[in-house]
Amino acid sequence: MTGRSRTRTAALAALAAGVVLTLSSCAMSLDGDTPQTTLDPQGPKAQTIHNLALPVFIVAGIVFVAVMAGALYVVIRFRAKDDDDFDAFPEQLHGNFKLEIGWTILPAVVLAVIAFFTVSTIFDLARKPDADALTVEVVGQQWWWEYRYDVDGDGEADIITANDLVIPADREISLRIKSNDVIHSWWAPALNGKKDAVPGRIHPLTINAAEPGEYIGQCTEFCGLSHAEMRIKVVALDAADFDAWEQKQLVPFEAPTDEAAKNGFTQFASQCTTCHRITGMTDPTDESGQKLYEYDPVVNQVSGNAPNLTKFMTRTLFAGGKFHLRLETDECKALGEDWAETPEGIEQCLNREDLEAWLRNPPAEKAMYAGDAPSTASRGMPNFNLTEDQIDDLVAFLITLQ
């Protein structure tokens, strides 16, 4: 090999390596294992974006190929030949009126056309949601998402949940996106573009899932320690299933009767209510009706940033979506949404291992700034050094939250 062809081989190898690296970093959406692809819209809003992005990409691709082909043509056609006089000055050309006008006007026309469609898409996406849209308040928290539903329209949230955003399919959902601490960004790529959650502001975003299913996303604005573990799961149900879900969420709290769960309840009331709330929670009592702990949500709660646990067992994920609450085995999936209602279902489905690990030492399971004492400044759940018995009792109690 001559020196020249060796450099050429090296350059080609570097180029090939670069191409392979770039392609392998793009997950191909062909294998169906890319739930966060933007290239597979699953609802009208995302479709609207896709209808703009795809033609623009094609136009940009044609421009790219044309410009590169032109450049390559010039480089090859006018390259120095072996019999050229290398000392001579190249022939000087100046100005080509037709070409210069052409390559000024053509891009302007292309950009004007793209601008027209872009602006009309923006207006289309900013349109007010349908009159029958379901409104859900979305609150970004370090590091999980809270969802609040005002079912009776009195201005107070009747359902407060976390991690899973449950919605009816084929209906517009009007999200009102807020933040409790820093700037986050809510994005479920299959349903719409992303929208920042900014403290002190309410940002509207309309989503609509055409079909029942699960749509995955995540926080896309760096928000601190566990930003990468602040996930999103939109669960779209058909109208009847959504109504059933909603009714289930509204069933009032019932104190547990099982011995272990009762112990867990007392412990929960005394130790966990500084941060967590359970809507309609009563005071734990013994057999004779004697109060074991007097629970006052207002006095107790010193931290406004922990997930509401009212119907905890109806979720599929916990801790910002980092862990499955329910095992994803086939026999568990076959049990459907009511898996938590029977002891056998719980036995088969509950992800006991991760839930117990969470109670054993939360900061070891997910990076958090939990501090020593709960306060409005701390973020996350501290380690309470619970004993295994206490953990068993607490899990027995959490199982009743369904």
- Residue 180 CB, shortest distance to Cu ion, in Å, is 11
Please check whether residue 160 is in contact with residue 279, taking contact to mean a CB–CB distance below 8 angstroms: yes
Site map (CB under 5 A) of Cu ion, residues 188-227, x = contact: -------------------------------x---x----
- Residue 307 CB, shortest distance to Cu ion, in Å, is 14
Please check whether residue 40 is in contact with residue 29, taking contact to mean a CB–CB distance below 8 angstroms: yes
Q: For every residue of 45-72, which 3-state class applies, written as one string?
A: HHHHHHHHHHHHHHHHHHHHHHHHHHHH
Around 218, how many Cα atoms within 13 Å sit in the side-chain half-sphere? 17
Which CB, 223 or 391, lies closer to Cu ion? 223
Which CB, 162 or 169, lies closer to ligand HEC? 162
Which CB, 65 or 364, lies closer to ligand HEC? 364
Give the interface size with Cu ion as a residue count (CB under 5 A). 4
> Tokens for 259?
């011995």
> How far, CA to CA in Å, does 322 sit from each of 160, 232, 233, 319, 377?
19, 10, 11, 6, 23
Please check whether residue 142 is in contact with residue 182, taking contact to mean a CB–CB distance below 8 angstroms: yes
Binding site for ligand HEC (CB under 6 A): 143-144, 162-163, 226, 268, 271-272, 274-276, 303, 305-307, 315, 318-320, 359, 366, 368, 374, 380-382, 384, 394, 398
The reply on whether position 230 binds Cu ion by CB under 5 A is yes
Which among ligand HEC, Cu ion, none contacts residue 271 (Cβ within 5 to 8 A by kind)?
Answer: ligand HEC
The reply on whether position 139 binds Cu ion by CB under 5 A is no
Which among ligand HEC, Cu ion, none contacts residue 316 (Cβ within 5 to 8 A by kind)?
Answer: none
Which among ligand HEC, Cu ion, none contacts residue 396 (Cβ within 5 to 8 A by kind)?
Answer: none
Q: Please provide the distance, in angstroms rounded to a whole number, between the alpha carbons at the two ends of the chain.
A: 74
Per-residue burial over 356-366, b if 16 or more Cβ lie within 10 Å, else e, is: bebbbebeebb
Which CB, 61 or 199, lies closer to Cu ion? 199
- Residue 176 CB, shortest distance to ligand HEC, in Å, is 21
Which among ligand HEC, Cu ion, none contacts residue 223 (Cβ within 5 to 8 A by kind)?
Answer: Cu ion
Which secondary-structure segment (H or E) carries 134?
strand 134-141
Q: Which of residues 163-192 bind Cu ion (CB under 5 A)?
A: 184
The reply on whether position 368 binds Cu ion by CB under 5 A is no
Which among Cu ion, ligand HEC, none contacts residue 219 (Cβ within 5 to 8 A by kind)?
Answer: Cu ion
Which among ligand HEC, Cu ion, none contacts residue 144 (Cβ within 5 to 8 A by kind)?
Answer: ligand HEC
- Tell the burial category of 281 from Cβ atoms under 10 Å away from its Cβ (0-12, 13-18, 19+): buried
Interacting residues of 210 by C-beta distance below 8 A, sequence separation 6+: 42, 43, 44, 169, 170
By the criterion CB under 5 A, which residues form the site for Cu ion? 184, 219, 223, 230
